[in-house]
Structure formats: structure tokens, C-alpha cells
């Protein structure tokens, strides 16, 4: 019935010797990397979180920032989507709201690269201990 | 949600939340018809009958941050707008299949959109899960899986724009060849 093409195509990628396929060395400590979590629930996706995440991953790579960019479920800030949580090594996590591509760019340049906080931070809700 | 690819991304998140370590996303376009079936199957914890009925209710959700769960209801609404439907089959302890049929000739049908972006995002963010994509149009098909990618290209993780770019182009070329858009 069908021609499953992907195997042949994958071999083509391999043969073209795409360099730098494996950029992460094994045993690299996540604690020393910038960790970014992008909320990817229905509200986030509908607000453009996918584009935000793709932009952040590509921009960090281009600008030489070593980071782990991953998606998480709903963080609860549906009114402020897209939201991202940024944890710089040695700092507490910070959640930013309204992170479109322009905002993401600002966060990368000012906060991630410069340590300077920008507008749009969503404060942490402290829970009472019962 | 402006594209079907975003719905797929959304529903696939449910698979992860259900503890699946294998997700199969299939797109079928039957020859001679204008129907496209999107199928998302996982091997997560599954649902009981009652949970299945509740899943389509926008005011039912398992998350604790909000009291609405709009993913499935929105997907169903979009499918039904084109004259199609959405069905859920699930078995507790085995997994779940969400199936949505769209009439692609209907003026209200959304485009499939950036399916390759959705696939790469899911597979790179959830490396513990096996992600499989199968697209069939008539009697031509194309499939790709994360284990295949890892084996053929000898990589551990799907990251880095060179790799993800090449994979996205691969998927897009195959989708174009199948005439799926």
C-alpha cells in the first residue's frame, strides 16, 4: 500500500552531515543552565505560546545562551498568556506574562543576558501552611 | 485556535499529563472524499466511562489551577463546524484515542497548519516519550518517529536549530508530496 519515506529522508540528513547535531555534552549540569518553561495549555497555545517558545529556543541558540527550553502545563495565569517561567542559575524563578515574541526578545536581552528585571512579572502566590 | 496543528499540540499535552510514554498522531485523508481524520492515540492511564463523558464538558478539568478545560470542547466544536465530529475512546490502564473528522472542503475548516512545528516541539520537550507521526493520503503515506530519528541520526535529544530545521523541512516536504495542507 504505502511507501514509508521517512527512513530514506532521515538517511539523507545524516549523509549531508548536519554538523552540531549533538550540542549538549553528556553530564552537563542543568543547575548551571538557564531554564525556561513555557506554559503550553489550551489558553497558552491559543495565545501564541508555540510561536513564543520557538522564538526563544532559536534566539537563545543564536545569541549563545546555554539554556533548556521546555513546555509545561497550565500555570494558572490564563489571563496573561503566553507565560514563561525563567530560572537563571543561582536565582529564584520568575514568571513573566504577556510574553509575545517582542516581549520574549526583551526578556532575553535584559533579564537573561543582563540580569535586569523587566515589566510584566507575575508575583508568586504564597500559600498558607495549614 | 487558528490551525488544526495547534489543537493537536493541545490534545497531545493531555497525553503527557496522562502519563503516556508513547503517542501516535495520525492524519488520514481518504481518497475520493474531502474528509480528514486526525487521530491522537496514547498509552497513558486512560479514562473510565464517566471520565470520558466529562472530558467533553468544558466545565470539567483535572487541573487545579482553573475550573474549565476547553481543549477537547474547542476541538470538537471546530470539527462539528465543518460537518465532522470528535470521538473519544478510552480504557483505564490502557490509553486513550481522540479522533476528529473534518470536511476540508467546508469553508469553516481550519488549515492543518504548522504540523511539523507541533511535532518537533512535542518531541524535543518530552524526550522521555516516543512520538510517532503518520500521514496517509490515498495510498501514499509517510511516517516518522523519535526512536527512528535517534537511531538514524545517532542523537540523544532533538534540539538545536540545525537538526530541528532539517527535520521540519523533511516533514513539510513529505506533507507537500502527499498534498496534505
**Phi, psi of B39, deg, nearest 5:** -125, 125
Any domain includes A43? yes
Mean pLDDT for A91-105 is 92
**CATH (domain of A106):** 3.40.30.10
| B8 or A115, which is more confident | B8
| Global pTM exceeds 0.80 | yes
Task: Kindly report, residue by residue over A39-90, the tens digit of the pLDDT.
Answer: 998 999 999 999 999 999 999 999 988 899 999 888 888 889 999 999 998 8
Q: What is the pLDDT along chain B (181 residues), one digit of tens a residue?
A: 789 999 999 999 999 989 999 999 999 998 889 999 999 999 999 999 888 888 888 877 776 666 677 889 999 999 999 999 999 999 999 999 999 999 999 999 999 999 999 999 999 999 999 999 999 998 899 999 999 999 888 888 888 888 899 899 999 999 999 988 7
Any domain includes A21? no
**Which domains, from first to last, does chain B contain?**
4-178 (3.30.565.10)
**Angle value at C-alpha B31, between B25 and B33, nearest 5 degrees:** 95
Any domain includes A7? no
- Distance separating alpha carbons of residues A19 and A42, to the nearest angstrom: 36
Any domain includes A2? no
Q: Is the pLDDT of residue A26 over 80?
A: no
Contacts of A47 in chain B (CB under 8 A): none
Which residue among B65, B70, B121 sits closest to A53, beta carbon to beta carbon?
B121
Specify the pLDDT at position A127.
57
Total domain count, chain A: 1
Contacts of A57 in chain B (CB under 8 A): 159, 161
Contacts of A24 in chain B (CB under 8 A): 156-157, 159
Contact call for B1 and A21, based on CB within 8 A: no
Contact call for B161 and A58, based on CB within 8 A: yes
- The grid coordinates of residue B150 equal 535517534
DSSP characters for chain A? -----HHHHHHHHHHTT-TTS--SPTT--GGGSEEEEEE-SHHHHHTTHHHHHHHHHHHHHHTT--EEEEEES--S-GGG-S-EEEE-TTS--EEE-S--HHHHHHIIIIIITT----S-EEPPPPPPP-
Contacts of A23 in chain B (CB under 8 A): 159-160
Contact call for B166 and A18, based on CB within 8 A: yes
Task: Kindly report, residue by residue over A85-97, the tens digit of the pLDDT.
Answer: 999 988 888 999 9
Q: Is the pLDDT of residue A129 over 80?
A: no
Any domain includes A102? yes
Specify the pLDDT at position A2.
39
Any domain includes A96? yes
Specify the pLDDT at position B159.
84
Contacts of B162 in chain A (CB under 8 A): 18-21
Res. A21 pLDDT band, cuts 50 70 90: very low
Any domain includes A20? no
| A99 or B53, which is more confident | A99
Residues of A engaging B, defined by a Cβ cutoff of 8 Å? 1-7, 9-11, 13-14, 16, 18-24, 26, 40-43, 45-46, 50, 53-54, 57-58, 61-62, 69-71, 73-76, 78
User: Which range of residues forms the domain containing residue A67?
Assistant: 27-122
Which residue among A13, A19, A54 sits closest to B117, beta carbon to beta carbon?
A54
Amino acid at each position: 500500500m504505502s511507501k514509508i519515506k521517512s527512513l530514506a529522508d532521515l538517511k539523507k540528513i545524516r549523509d549531508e552531515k548536519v554538523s552540531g547535531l549533538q550540542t549538549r555534552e553528556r553530564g552537563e549540569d542543568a543547575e548551571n543552565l538557564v531554564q525556561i518553561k513555557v506554559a503550553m495549555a489550551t489558553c497558552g497555545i491559543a495565545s501564541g505560546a508555540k510561536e513564543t517558545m520557538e522564538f526563544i529556543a532559536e534566539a537563545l541558540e543564536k545569541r549563545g545562551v546555554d539554556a533548556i527550553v521546555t513546555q509545561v502545563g497550565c500555570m494558572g495565569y490564563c489571563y496573561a498568556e503566553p507565560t514563561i517561567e525563567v530560572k537563571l542559575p543561582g536565582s529564584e524563578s520568575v514568571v513573566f506574562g504577556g510574553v509575545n515574541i517582542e516581549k520574549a526578545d526583551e526578556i532575553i536581552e535584559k533579564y537573561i543576558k543582563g540580569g535586569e528585571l523587566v515589566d510584566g512579572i507575575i508575583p508568586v502566590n504564597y500559600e498558607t501552611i495549614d | 485556535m487558528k490551525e488544526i496543528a495547534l489543537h493537536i499540540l493541545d490534545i497531545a499535552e493531555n497525553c503527557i499529563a496522562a502519563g503516556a510514554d508513547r503517542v501516535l498522531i495520525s492524519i488520514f485523508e481518504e481518497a475520493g472524499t474531502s474528509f480528514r481524520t486526525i487521530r491522537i492515540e496514547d498509552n497513558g492511564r486512560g479514562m473510565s466511562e464517566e471520565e470520558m463523558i466529562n472530558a467533553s464538558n468544558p466545565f470539567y478539568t483535572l487541573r487545579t489551577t482553573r475550573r474549565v478545560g476547553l481543549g477537547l470542547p474547542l476541538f470538537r466544536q471546530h470539527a462539528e463546524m465543518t460537518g465532522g465530529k470528535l470521538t473519544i475512546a478510552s480504557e483505564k490502564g490502557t490509553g486513550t484515542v481522540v479522533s476528529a473528522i473534518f470536511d476540508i472542503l467546508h469553508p469553516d475548516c481550519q488549515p492543518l497548519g504548522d504540523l511539523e512545528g507541533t511535532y518537533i516541539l512535542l518531541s524535543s520537550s518530552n524526550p522521555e516519550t516516543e512520538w510517532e507521526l503518520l500521514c496517509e493520503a490515498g495510498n501514499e503515506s509517510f511516517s516518522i518517529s523519535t526512536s527512528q530519528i535517534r537511531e538514524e541520526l545517532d542523537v540523544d535529544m532533538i534540539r538545536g536549530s540545525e537538526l530541528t530545521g532539517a527535520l521540519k523541512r523533511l516533514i513539510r516536504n513529505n506533507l507537500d508530496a502527499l498534498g496534505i495542507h
